[in-house]
Amino acid sequence: MITHGNEIKLFCGNSNSDLAKAIAKKLNTELGEVEVNTFSDGEINVHIKETVRGRDVFIIQSTCSPVNDNLMELLIMIDAAKRASAGRVTAVIPYFGYARQDRKARSRDPITAKLVANLITEAGADRVLTMDLHADQIQGFFDIPVDNLLGGPTLYNYFAKKNNIDVVVAPDLGSVKRSRKVAEKFGVPIAIIDKRRPKANVMEVMSIIGDVAGKRCLMIDDMIDTAGTLCQGAQAIKDAGATEIYAGCTHAVLSGPAIERLKNSAITQLVMLDTIHLPEEKKLDKFEVLSVADIFAAAIENVYLDKPMSKLYD
């Protein structure tokens, strides 16, 4: 790790320590010592066990399940670092929870993504590093700089090496832009699954726009939660004549019935990034996990050295 001025300090909470260790290794440094515990009533207690005065502090914490505990850990760690006179605090949030609540879909709905952005800012973060926000406009919810890194190129490079994709399929209309970018890189056409969602986490396929018959298909999405959208979409394109179905996502939330659905689905292989820790009990033979440690290490180094981030988006 190149050093200049004040020393860099990396810390992590309990959400994804494996990724944090991998990032630290890429930077040729070690994670700082911090105790993150809970009192008997569930309150979170943080103690940073080394000096951070004047240092450039990076706190690595995905706000995945348990979302509220991991979010509070992040907020309290930011506050602890600021109160210990850290020079600059960057919240490194590989997976940003509450991102789906980014607008008022109904009257009297909250905009929780904005609330969380306010909490992180008020806690004392000077900058946020994250990846593939569910809605790009969330960057504007913050009054501090936000770098929204891209997970798509990592997924693209994996499938490009296999050279086995004939069509890129958007699981829903919201994924069309992302899927089109991938299709353009592969030089293949795009298909779109037109669906309706009668209620949260429930999806019904209506029709398929495009030709998938006799084709090897790749479904791309930013996150997979209960996997209803993905699995129903995979079955729909299989019924339409697709020969092989692959899937890729940045954030494998995999809550509720997701694992059972994916196990019994028409999907040949699901490739995911490690923004969220995948426990042993959720692993399937058809899963492949790719690391984003390289990307986050490069971003952290650029922030630390005040170098431009643009090359990470090229």
**Residue 195 catalytic?**
yes
DSSP 172: S
Compute the distance between CA of residue 187 and CA of residue 176 in angstroms, rounded to an integer: 16
Compute the distance between CA of residue 225 and CA of residue 90 in angstroms, rounded to an integer: 27
**Alpha-helical segments (H) within 84-187:** 112-123, 152-162, 176-186
Per-position b or e across 58-68, b if 16+ CB within 10 A of its CB: bbbbbbbbebe
Compute the distance between CA of residue 245 and CA of residue 219 in angstroms, rounded to an integer: 7
Compute the distance between CA of residue 108 and CA of residue 310 in angstroms, rounded to an integer: 39
Compute the distance between CA of residue 307 and CA of residue 293 in angstroms, rounded to an integer: 18
Compute the distance between CA of residue 169 and CA of residue 190 in angstroms, rounded to an integer: 6
DSSP 311: G
Question: Given its phi and psi angles, is residue 178 left (phi above 0), alpha (psi -120 to 50 degrees) or beta?
Answer: alpha
| 3-class DSSP state of 204 | strand
Cα 308 to Cα 84, 104, 150, distances in angstroms: 28, 35, 16
Q: Which residues contact 57 (CB under 8 A, 6 or more apart)?
A: 9, 11, 81, 86, 87, 88, 89, 90
Question: Active-site residue among 9, 26, 114, 195?
Answer: 195
Compute the distance between CA of residue 97 and CA of residue 202 in angstroms, rounded to an integer: 20
| 3-class DSSP state of 22 | helix
Residues with catalytic roles = 195
